[in-house]
Structure 1
Amino acid sequence: MPTSIKALGTQGSDQPIELLTIERRDLQPDDVQFDILYCGICHSDLHLAHNDFGGSRYPMVPGHEIVGRVTAVGSEVKRFKVGDMAAVGCIVDSCGTCPACHRDLEQFCSGEGGTSLSFNTPDKYLGGVTFGGYSQAYVCKEAYTLHMPEGMDPAAGAPLLCAGITVYSPLKHWGAGAGKVVGIVGIGGLGHVAIRIARAMGAHVVCFTTSQGKVEDAKRLGAHEAVLSTDADQMKAFASRVDILIDTVSAPHDVNAYLNLLAIDGSMVLVGLPNEPLQVGAFNVVKGRRSFSGSNIGGIAETQEMLDFCAEHDIVADIELISADRVNEAYERLEKNDVRYRFVIDMATLA
Structure 2
Amino acid sequence: MGMLRTSLAFLHLATSLAVPVPCEEKIVRLEAEIQGLKMVIDNQHRYIQDLHNSQAQRLELIPNSHLGPENLYRDCSEVFADGNVASGLYVIHPDGSPTALSVYCDMNNGGGWTVFQRRRDGTESFDRAWVEYKHGFGDLFSPDGEFWLGNEPLHYLTSQGNYDLRIDMEDFEGNQRYAEYKNFKVDDEKDQFQLHLGEYTGNAGNALADVRGPRPAGQKWAGPGSGSTRVKFSTYDQLNDESDDNAKCIRHTKAGWWFSKCDAGNLNGHYYKGPYQAMTDDGVVWYTWHGWWYSIKSVVMMVRAADLEHPPPILAPLPGQLDPSKVAGGVIRPQGQ
TM range (shorter): under 0.3
Higher strand share: 1
TM-score, length of structure 1 as denominator length: 0.27
TM-score, length of structure 2 as denominator length: 0.27
Work out which of the two has the higher radius of gyration on C-alpha atoms and give 1 or 2: 2
